[in-house]
């Protein structure tokens, strides 16, 4: 049986990394540059995931249209 995974898994992981880095940074040594770096990295991963999901959805729709 094939396992179903979310297509937004990369975005979920990016959010968890952001939360972990904010908590870790505030516990060890609060640094705004570290938090901003984690934020920009997480946003980049989310944008890549959005492009991937939209591309995959359009490719599936195009493939369905070609059948008929």
List Cα–Cα distances, 20 to 10, 27, 36, 58, in angstroms: 15, 11, 13, 34
pLDDT tens per residue across all 68 residues of the chain: 677 788 999 999 999 999 999 999 999 988 899 999 999 999 999 999 999 999 998 888 887 766 65
| pLDDT of 6 | 85
Question: How big, in percent rounded to 5, are the helix, strand and coil portions of the chain?
Answer: 80, 0, 20
- Cβ-contact 53, 7 below 8 angstroms: yes
| pLDDT of 59 | 86
| pLDDT of 53 | 93
Cα–Cα distance, 43 to 20 (Å, whole number): 15
Helices (H) then strands (E): counts for the chain: 2, 0
| pLDDT of 12 | 94
């Amino acid at each position: 049986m094939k396992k179903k995974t979310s297509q937004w898994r990369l975005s979920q992981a990016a959010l968890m990394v952001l939360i972990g880095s904010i908590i870790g940074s505030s516990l060890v040594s609060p640094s705004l540059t570290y938090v901003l770096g984690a934020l920009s990295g997480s946003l980049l991963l989310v944008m890549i995931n959005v492009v991937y999901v939209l591309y995959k959805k359009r490719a599936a729709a195009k493939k369905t249209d070609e059948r008929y």
